[in-house]
Amino acid sequence: MNTKLFSELPTSVRIMEVGPRDGLQNETMALDADQRVGLIRALAAAGVKNIEVGSFVSPKWVPQMADTDTVVSKTGDIDANLSVLVPNPRGMEQALVAEVKEIAVFTATSEAFCLKNTNCSVDESLERIKVVTEQALAAGMRVRGYVSTVLDCPYDGPMDAQRCADISKQLIDMGCYEVSLGDTIGKGTPIRMAHLLETVMKQVPASQLAVHCHDTYGQALANILVSLQMGISVVDSSVGGLGGCPYAKGASGNVATEDVVFMLTEMGIETGIDLSALNAIARDMSVLLDKPLPGHVHKA
């Protein structure tokens, strides 16, 4: 076996579980606050140490994220790093009241997607992020950044890697400790992912990057593997493969957390997560939502 290909793999990977927010926001059935709290507690009990628990967005637009303040108040005792997505200054006001410790902000490489998602241009979204980030840092919060449509946009097609790199650098310069690169419609392939990372890493080090891969075309694990080979050690995933993107028609869910953990474990890479417990959570969510979930390992 040629081990040279795998000689630079990380010894451990930090999983960012996005199911309670990015996953549930695109499910037809809206879970109530207590059901979402139950999911978050189960994930933490399984060893998941980084969980995105909700979003301070208007329930008019994303009803699945209503009562995020209640979810935050009922999960404050959990031994995990919990974050909340904050889309604008109004959301930041709610985050300050809720006294969250970490927020996530987001923009996109694509102008059309940004307009659909946030009703503003990319530059305008970055101005919003700057205001929100300054407030968050002043309040002692950590800030994580997302860039969506890093490889392809459902409206604009293939994206320019240099543009993604420039936007990522701006987020880091604003104070984001990490930028997650999102393949929103899951159309990326390993060589394209490698090119993207090579370009972005000229401006942002691998230690401040994460990958957020959707599995629409079945490419997520392959893209994650090439990312690991290039020095990335943070992976976003969603238990059971929950969710997708409400602003990208046809985009299926994020890569399933249990699929990622299985692959990493079999490769000897530590995650700190109990795979059996994770599979049980995925199966429970399938029953709760009354639908099969796209993850593979929990069904194997």
Residue positions annotated with a catalytic role? 245
Bridging pattern class, strands 152-153 and 142-148: unpaired
Evaluate whether 44 touches 36 at the Cβ level (below 8 Å). Answer: no
Report which residue type is found at 62.
V
Q: DSSP assignment, residue 23?
A: I
Nearest to 99 by CA among 69, 59, 58: 69
Q: Which two tokens stand for residue 101?
A: 């410790």
